[in-house]
Amino acid sequence: MVSVINTVDTSHEDMIHDAQMDYYGTRLATCSSDRTVKMFDVRNGGQILVADLRGHEGPVWQVAWAHPMFGNILASCSYDRKVIIWKEENGSWDKMHEYCGHESSVNSVCWGPYDFGLILACGSSDGAISILTFTGDQQWDVKKISNAHTIGCNAVSWAPAVVPGSLIDQPSGQKPNYVKRFVSGGCDNLVKLWKEEDGQWKEDQKLEAHSDWVRDVGWAPSIGLPTSTIASCSQDGRVFIWSCDDPAGNTWTAKLLHKFNDVVWHVSWSITGNILAVSGGDNKVTLWKESMDGQWACISDVSKGQGAVSTITDTQQSEQ
């Protein structure tokens, strides 16, 4: 059973596009078409507004928290073509960096694994993906993948730093293999995998299954197991689970999680990578879990807006 534990009245003056908890689950960042980013202390069921960040000149699509080992850092991206990186110093939030290297709306931002330092991927409607790396002393190195997706990139998500299976196969005392990889989804209906080799970003795989714009992608967290898993969702109403058991990462298979009756906007993995949250145009959030026989089943659905919760029974499940 899933229950609604807290509802936050954000006082945003327009549609909210994203809401993200920080690493410790004590703060919530939200962003909206009202051009602001807001931050709330949500400890003990409370909701205290701690910051109201203004700097964007258009709707703010997404926010992303960096790992707390780097301090309190949040990235936001907007229709105004900008990415802003905010940092908290002595209790107040200020701009740490503003990136204006895109020619169109920036739709997605995602921080890479902390093992690589502060590294941020940004996907834009201009079709390019930028990778920003903090080099110290207020400097950010920029690498750009031009024309990553024709017509535009809607979403980016990093892979876990450790190569699949390397925690199991590793001789004791040796460091596991790290590799920089991320997945992107675009208006070309494609899911693409990118890998850094010798300091350059290269397209590693092209995954085809969707028949309309890919709205979101999520690379599942790994606990060192030999399998890689990615979820993708689309304007076509479908959610696919892509998996790869091949250590070289060359063979990916797609499994249809579900065909919804409306656009699917977002997919999000639990921290252990075994439960997937899906939200779409039907105003619902559903949670899905893989059973022992490899089938994905809906374990609950939460109606957005009403706070009402129902658990799907076996009979309903078989009808879906």
Domain coordinates in residue numbering, the chain: 12-147, 152-160+179-308
Locate 231 and state its tokens: 């979820």
pLDDT at 165: 67
* CATH architecture for residues 152-160+179-308: 7 Propeller (2.130)
Rounded CA-CA distance 138/183 in Å is: 27
The sign of the torsion formed by the CA atoms of 56, 58, 59, 63 equals: negative
Locate 132 and state its tokens: 């920003």
DSSP state of 178: B
pLDDT at 138: 82
pLDDT at 311: 39
Rounded CA-CA distance 188/201 in Å is: 20
pLDDT at 317: 38
Say yes or no: do domains 12-147 and 152-160+179-308 share a fold.
Answer: yes
- Looking at every residue in the chain, the average pLDDT score rounds to 89
Contacts of 163 (CB under 8 A, 6+ apart): 176, 177, 178, 179, 247
pLDDT at 95: 96
> Which stretches of 126-175 are DSSP H helices?
166-169
Low-confidence ranges of the chain (pLDDT < 70): 1, 165-176, 223, 301, 303-320
pLDDT at 184: 98
pLDDT at 305: 52
Residue 256 contacts residue 205 (beta carbons within 8 Å): no
Q: Which of 108, 119, 140, 122 is nearest to 70 (CA)?
A: 119
**CATH class of segment(s) 12-147:** mainly beta
DSSP state of 316: H
pLDDT at 170: 57
